[in-house]
Amino acid sequence: MLQLQIVVSGKVQGVGYRYFAQMKAVQFGITGWVKNRSDGAVEMVTTGTKENLDLFIEEIQRGNPFSTVDQIEISEISTGEKYQSFTIKY
C-alpha cells in the first residue's frame, strides 16, 4: 500500500471538490482524508494500491464540472496511520 500527500491548486474551494474527491476515493477503495487549506488549495492524504491511486489521481486532475485544477503536487509519505475510510476534515 502506498501513502501519498496530494495538494490540488486552482478553483477547488466552494465548488464541491472535497465531496467529489471523497466520492472518487470510495469508488477506488482509497482511504485517508481531504481538507481545505488556508491558501485556497485542497490537501489530501491517501492510502491505496498504486493502480487505484493512479486512477484516483487521473479523476481528481479532471475535477468536477464546477472546479478548475491548475496544479497537483504529489509526495510519497509514510505517516504510519491506518485509515478505515476517506473523510472530509473541517
Catalytic residues: 18, 36
- Single out the residue of 58, 43, 48, 37 nearest to residue 83, CA to CA: 48
In sign, the C-alpha dihedral spanning 79, 43, 6, 59 is: positive
Residue 3 contacts residue 46 (beta carbons within 8 Å): yes
